[in-house]
Amino acid sequence: MRGTLRRRAGAGRHRRSGVRAGQDVGRSCILVSIAGKNVMLDCGMHMGYNDDRRFPDFSYITQNGRLTDFLDCVIISHFHLDHCGALPYFSEMVGYDGPIYMTHPTKAICPILLEDYRKITVDKKGETNFFTSQMIKDCMKKVVAVHLHQTVQVDEELEIKAYYAGHVLGAAMFQIKVGCESVVYTGDYNMTPDRHLGAAWIDKCRPDLLITESTYATTIRDSKRCRERDFLKKVHETVERGGKVLIPVFALGRAQELCILLETFWERMNLKAPIYFSTGLTEKANHYYKLFITWTNQKIRKTFVQRNMFEFKHIKAFDRAFADNPGPMVVFATPGMLHAGQSLQIFRKWAGNEKNMVIMPGYCVQGTVGHKILSGQRKLEMEGRQIVSLSQFAHGIQGKVAPDSQHLCSPPLLLQLEVKMQVEYMSFSAHADAKGIMQLIRQAEPRNVLLVHGEAKKMEFLKQKIEQEFHVNCYMPANGETTTIFTNPSIPVDISLGLLKRETAIGLLPDAKKPKLMHGTLIMKDNSFRLVSPEQALKELGLAEHQLRFTCRVHIQDPRKEHETVLRVYNHLKGVLKDYSVQHLPDGSITVESILIQATAHSEDQGTKVLLVSWTYQDEELGSYLTSLLKKGLPQSSS
């Protein structure tokens, strides 16, 4: 049988330090200290900076000694660069040799994105203080790939478990557990299934703390079908009037989602306008979706043998020369926030024509061109020189990108660009909205919630909503801030059958709703607890039994001789304790069950007698009662 041992309140605690991405989207990096273990969650870069601020400040973790000595492990939730972009810098340049955990798709795609990011930063822009290709390879050697729902034992006490997060191929939520204390980190997730990925799912694991993203903390999206219909209508209308449609996307995720949607629509409507995709992307995406088909949704898995949903009939590879072609077209171009690369190049060419349209299908970080035009800005200052094409897979690389080497001779000029094209925001984002976040909390039933990866004002609104609905504490620390959460964990205890039978025999009836007090010996061995009888404990541990007795002195005013005082005490107790065995022994002492009472004269006052009352711990209740009874004195009528 299993019981529960409760620690006093505040006995356990979690420290959560926001190295970055507290009230911020980008540069996700969180340090969790749980039951003496230190785990770093994600290691991302920021899209809005080109200087030292692009990486997290790892001095928050420790300023003394090596990171390997301090951290027990690092967990990466998915391959987007705002969650893994700083990994080679952290492991190879700052210095970390411990294990790094991620899923198999993340392990496969991560190095490609990191190498593309390195090429843009070093080869194109000429930066020197940056990680090399070899550092990326060395970093990936430290990675341990995990399967969904696989419990991974990091060490004897620390274990982790991955859950499906939707969002992008290979994205996972992680449960971190030490003993009976646990934390769940969501990373980025989506509670709504789409055309190629399923919905995020977690069991009712009741963690002490749920750390959840809150990108869309105040948004409740309309029905997916309505959004898709609206998207197709806007694309169709623009193409019909001879306009061009630009859809900035990131390489894996929304890109495939919208391609499947347009491919089906073009087939059904028999449309002839060309649809283009950034060169090389389709081949790479196809390869990884085929390799990790089990991570897609049920429909794609079922039909994959007959038809590969990612081999498109109407969507062709894009060449940058096509941007100047006359007539209608639809172009998917990377990156998704219009902060650099091919999507920004095309935007600059098409922005001046009111026939054209740009559809922003996801979140845009402040400071990017995407964020500016969605905020209503129609006059933009742009660098008047060629902008280098970003790699097809890069997700969220931010800032001014240097020109190709042949253009280095001309200094950049700031030109004003007037935006006449139509700007539409249609959220096909793979992040959970407010409703989805609440749904996940309902599913997991955490004792505390901590919001990260969001904007402060929106997080404050969601925080109040969570506290009102679920009656749990909700935290939203800023970057670099530490939050301490006290826990009151329940510790399971196995109870021996022999002890249970003995306690039942003396009147203990099992009742699940009422707590019962049980007397036994608690043995802690191999991180587990057992409650057994004292006899069994002594036998198991090979120990000899020692009797522990408690003794209390009670002073009584009685001028009579000692044996007369003892007799008065005996008669008094015999009259009061009718249900107990009270005996007067030949040596002049009195016993009540295991309790022994002896009388001696006071050394200084012959009129005062000292009663020594002693008992074993089993009779502690009766011993305390007898002591309080005798302290009241003896009745005058006793003789």
The angle at the Cα of 306, spanning 300 to 308, to the nearest 5 degrees, equals 50
DSSP string for 389-453: PPPTT-----S--PPPGGGTTSPP-EEEEE--SEEEE----SS-BHHHHHHHHHHH--SEEEEES
Q: Determine how many CB atoms are found less than 10 A away from the CB of residue 222.
A: 10
Which residue in the block uniquely carries the two structure tokens 């006093």?
8
The phi and psi torsions of 626 (rounded to 5 degrees) equal -60, -40
Which residue in the block uniquely carries the two structure tokens 């001789």?
561
* Orientation of helix 254-269 relative to helix 281-291, angle to 10°: 110
- Kindly calculate the radius of gyration of the chain based on its CA atoms and give it in whole angstroms: 36
Distance CA 193, CA 352 (A): 37
The phi and psi torsions of 399 (rounded to 5 degrees) equal 115, 180
DSSP-derived 3-state class of residue 342: helix
Q: Determine how many CB atoms are found less than 10 A away from the CB of residue 313.
A: 8
SS (H, E, C) 132-175: CHHHHHHHHCCEEEECECCEEECCCCEEEEEEECCCCCCCEEEE
DSSP string for 581-622: -EEE-TTS-EEETTEEEEEEE-SS-TTEEEEEEEEEGGGHHH
DSSP run (H or E) holding 233: helix 224-240
- Supply 82's token pair: 């705002």
Q: Is 471 exposed, middle or buried (0-12, 13-18, 19+ CB in 10 A)?
A: exposed
The residue from 115, 213, 228, 257 that is catalytic is: 213
Q: How far is CA 185 from the centre of its chain?
A: 1
- Beta strand spans in 194-300 (E): 209-213, 244-248, 275-278
Encode burial over 532-569: b for 16+ CB neighbours within 10 A, e otherwise: bbeebbeeeeeeeeeeeeeebebebebeeeeeebbbbb
The residue among 207, 183, 186 whose CA lies nearest residue 32 is 183
Q: For this structure, is 213 an active site residue?
A: yes
Distance CA 153, CA 134 (A): 29
Distance CA 431, CA 258 (A): 16
Is the sign of the CA dihedral 352, 415, 361, 474 positive or negative? Answer: negative
Contact (CB, 8 A) for 448 and 463: no
* Catalytic machinery residues: 213
